[in-house]
């Protein structure tokens, strides 16, 4: 794994993924994936982009969207009060 991560429980007892500041918006997207089937579906889309079957793919959830391309993935959060509103992983 290229980036450090850890898991912590929030004050409500929910498990959160903690990512470095430069990619922390990805945690908001990840936490909106509600089921194993949904996670498997998104992994399948990611693999199709990486294997060249799709040129790109966008997943839009309640508060965030992810644009997946072979060389870069960008997450955008729609409801943040302060920047950054986007993070990128190359």
Write out the DSSP string of 56-86: EEEEE-SSEEEEEESS-EEEEESS-SSS--E
Per-residue confidence (pLDDT) for residue 1, from 0 to 100: 59
Q: Say what the pLDDT of residue 74 is.
A: 98
First to last CA, the chain: 13
What is the Cβ-side half-sphere exposure of residue 32, based on CA atoms within 13 angstroms? 16
DSSP 15: E
In angstroms, the CA 65 to CA 77 distance is: 7
Mean pLDDT, 10 residues at a time, the chain of 90 residues? 88 92 92 93 97 97 95 96 93
């Amino acid at each position: 794994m290229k980036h450090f991560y850890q898991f912590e429980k929030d004050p409500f007892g929910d498990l959160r993924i903690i990512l470095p500041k430069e990619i922390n918006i990805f945690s908001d997207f990840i936490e909106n994936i509600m089921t194993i089937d949904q996670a498997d579906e998104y992994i399948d889309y990611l693999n199709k982009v990486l294997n060249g079957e799709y040129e790109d793919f966008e997943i839009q959830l309640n508060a965030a969207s992810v644009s997946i391309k072979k060389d870069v993935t960008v997450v955008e959060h729609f409801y943040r009060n302060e920047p950054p509103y986007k993070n990128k992983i190359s």
